A and B are shown apart, each in its own frame.
Chain A
Amino acid sequence: MSAAQLQANSITWKIDNKTIVDDVSLSVKKGETLGIVGPNGAGKTSLLKCLYQELSITSGDVFLDGVALNTFPRKQLAQKISVVSQHHDPVFNLTVFDIVHMGLIPHKSFFEQDNSEDLRLIEQALEKVDLTDKTYQSFSTLSGGEQQRCLIARAIVQRPIIMIMDEPTNHLDVYYQHQILALVKKLGLTLVITIHDLNLAAQYCDRILLLAKGKVKAIDVPEKVLQSTLLQEVFKLTCLVDENPLTMKPRVTFSGGSDVS
């Protein structure tokens, strides 16, 4: 196995004596996409937050390229890891440009002004996410998919090596779900994504981490993780796994709740 870019060794995060993230170990290789799946309340978002130091872990270690994460100064960390999180509801009418422009922050020292290179970077990022014609539109008037793309453009301007995304496909219709995931895959970054839809995870992730009650149930390629017995145990629903005839990836189908054995 080649060297891991992001590695977590048995990390645990507790709050008020409740263990939310329980002894999780994972590693992500450069350029790989790791999907984190699991039921609501499994601790997916908390696990992500441990990986980008929003939460300080109770025990365990996280390494970025072999260096302990907590030894990085804030600003340096922001040059390596960008985060696209959900739920943004700005009070003021921030424009798309204002938000994408924030991506420059980790690369600027005091008094340093924007140069033409920076503006070109913003322009290119907006082109990549296809928002050029909405550059000066207010963020809150955008659709859910456009808001996600705007935040992705900000992450591109941040020039990270790892991108962490929390439920990027939430509240999006099928078309936009695929659009967003295909878009971030094209960037060629290392990706860590939480995702609800198991079939999307199967299609876009190189490996999947199945999380239940804060513990790792399985972490492996989609074919190995998405197995009916395991999914049935975690999601408490009868399920069938076969092969998606279009993508040749595992396809998961759940029955309703009533016939659970």
Chain B
Amino acid sequence: MSAKFAIVPAITILSVLVLLSLLLSMGFGTAELGYGEIWQCLTDQCQRSIYQTILIDIRLPRVLMGFLAGFALAAAGALMQNVTRNPLADPYLFGIVAGAGLGATISGYLPDSVQAISLPLAAFLGALFAVAIVISVLMHSNWRRIEHLLLAGVAVSFLLSAFTSFLLYFGEAFASNRVIFWLMGSLARADYSALMWTFPVVAISCLLALVYARQLDSLLLSDESAKTLGVNVDKLRLLALVICAAMTAVIVSYCGGIGFVGLMIPHIVRPFFGLTTAKLLLSSGLIGGCFLVWIDVIARTILPGQEIPIGVITSVIGSIFFLFLMRKM
């Protein structure tokens, strides 16, 4: 199939890549715990019981969460670029991060008794709020132009960020710090309960998108041509956008702002694996997952004894990538 990989070898290559990434990334971390010790843990018994705790309770959920977050963000980006026919679309343009940030900030003001549900849930509600504003604006403008979606998202982002800044400015320093660090993105919060919440959302969203893959493909040419093929374009696009928003919001709630993954990965994937929905979504997801796993390895090892927010690294790489992309277009 011209320069592209056929579907079976493509999935084989990607699966190997995913397995290797997940396994190898386990060997990196602050604690001196290398492959030798891991091998011993796997085959026999850990040298010290603390190793088991580090591997199973800290590193494994973190690696899995990194993979899931990368998968979800890249898949959402792929879906969003396809349904808007805009190669620069990114799920973050919904104002999701700004909304989640506002939610997180407000949660800092809640009484201690409700702090248990606090940050992730509040961030998720904030993200949904942002998406709701964007989508309701679009419904009123009758979807006249797809570009409106992106512009509305930018406007909502600025609005909600302004509220957040206002609250943080008058808030106490400690709470403000917490929100600001969270906004920079980190996988340090990852644990099994976080995985339990995020995995089903991502899995269901991707399955739904795959069920509608054929119809989604019809949008790639033009709305009108999709309509003549019997596709209900408005409903389908709304569904796809809700799927993107749900995946992104749930990831942002637990991991904070990890930008540019959704923008960048589909571009890297398209020339090799194809641009129709099913192929693009799956391969973007798998590659995005591996990408974020390794970015997180960098984030937690590059400075000794200190962790860099993962969102900072993805933003640096992503924005440079973005600029190169614009130069080419």
Contacts and interface: CB of A to CB of B under 8 A. Distances in A.
A136 B1 contact: yes
Contacts of B232: 74
Contacts of B82: 92
B178 interface: no
A54 interface: yes
Interface string A93-105: 1110011011111
Given A102-B229, A111-B211, A136-B2, A88 B217 contact: no
Contacts of A73: 230
Contacts of B222: 88, 90
Interface string B71-102: 00000000000100111000000000000000
Contacts of B2: 95, 136
A191 interface: no
Contacts of B229: 78, 102-103, 105-106, 158
Interface stretch (A79-87, A174-182, A199-207): A79-87
B214 A108 contact: yes
A103 B220 CA distance: 13
Given A94-B275, A108-B214, A85 B224 contact: yes
B230 A106 contact: yes
Chain A interface: which size bin? 20 to 34
Interface of B is mostly: loop
B228 A88 contact: no
B314 interface: no
B231 interface: yes
A93 B87 CA distance: 11
B227 A98 contact: no
Nearest to B1: A136
Nearest to B271: A93
Interface residues of B, number: 26
Given A98-B217, A110-B211, A136-B1, A88 B225 contact: yes
Contacts of A52: 228
A78 B230 contact: yes
Interface string B213-225: 0110110111011
A108 B276 CA distance: 17
Contacts of B221: 88, 90, 94, 99, 102
Interface string B265-279: 000001000011000
Nearest to A90: B221
Given A92-B87, A110-B211, A54 B224 contact: yes
Contacts of B275: 92-94, 98
Contact of A75 (B85, B86, B224, B230): B230
Given A136-B2, A158-B229, A102 B87 contact: no
A111 B230 CA distance: 17
Nearest to A74: B230
A4 interface: no
B229 to A, nearest CB: 5
B220 A105 contact: no
A248 interface: no
B53 to A, nearest CB: 43
Contact of A74 (B86, B220, B231, B276): B231
Interface string B19-36: 000000000000000000
B239 to A, nearest CB: 13
10 A-B pairs with the lowest CB-CB distances in the bound complex, closest first: A78-B230, A75-B230, A83-B228, A136-B2, A106-B230, A74-B230, A105-B229, A92-B275, A91-B85, A102-B218
28 contacts: A54-B227, A73-B230, A74-B231, A75-B230, A77-B230, A78-B228, A81-B228, A82-B228, A83-B225, A83-B228, A85-B224, A88-B221, A88-B222, A90-B222, A91-B86, A92-B85, A92-B275, A94-B221, A95-B2, A98-B217, A101-B217, A103-B229, A105-B215, A106-B229, A106-B230, A108-B214, A111-B211, A136-B1
Given A85-B224, A92-B85, A106-B230, 20 more contacts: A54-B227, A54-B228, A74-B227, A74-B232, A77-B230, A78-B229, A85-B225, A90-B222, A92-B82, A92-B270, A95-B2, A102-B221, A102-B225, A104-B214, A105-B214, A105-B215, A105-B217, A108-B214, A136-B1, A136-B2
